[in-house]
Amino acid sequence: MALTTVDFKTSYPEFDTVENAVVDALLLKSSDYVSDTILGTKLETGIFLLVAHELTLLERTNPKKAFKIVTSRSGLGHSVSMQNLAKNHREAYLSLSFYGQQFLAIVSPLKAGAYILD
């Protein structure tokens, strides 16, 4: 399955202003970090969440923008709050953004080996 920048930006329009080359590079990188045998039908979602996580962290390190840690988010009638309950460095890294937290939520019930971030 070839995931495209257009697919990503359609699913995550909040990143519409990010250069396509950056998204393309992160799609390739993120594809290496997840296992299709474990994520199965959630593979696209997992890859897109990792890309969104990386883009969020890149935005935070932009000196023109204020550093912020998102601890809650609401939309579509739902509200989600984050709490850092990381068991290891991978989980701590993914806990730095709402998207990383979502990734952990879909991966954790499946299998610990679903992602490799070392």
> Is a pLDDT exceeding 70 seen at residue 10?
yes
Mean pLDDT rounded to a whole number for the chain? 77
Q: Read off the pLDDT of residues 77-88 as tens digits, 9 standing for 90 and up.
A: 666 555 555 567
Residue 74 pLDDT grade (very low, low, confident, very high; cuts 50, 70, 90): low
Residue 67 pLDDT grade (very low, low, confident, very high; cuts 50, 70, 90): very low
Mean predicted confidence (pLDDT) in 41-59:
91
43, two tokens:
């593979």
Q: What are the φ and ψ backbone dihedral angles of 101, each rounded to 5 degrees? A: -65, -40
Beta strands in 1-118 (DSSP E): 72-75, 78-81
> Is a pLDDT exceeding 60 seen at residue 19?
yes
Segment holding 56, helix H or strand E: helix 43-60
Query: What is the percentage of the chain residues whose pLDDT exceeds 90?
Result: 36
Residue 15 pLDDT grade (very low, low, confident, very high; cuts 50, 70, 90): very high
pLDDT at 117: 45
* Cβ partners under 8 Å of residue 2, min gap 6: none
Mean predicted confidence (pLDDT) in 13-21:
93
pLDDT at 66: 41
Return the closest-CA partner of residue 105 out of 53, 28, 27, 29: 53
The residue extents of the domains of the chain are 5-114
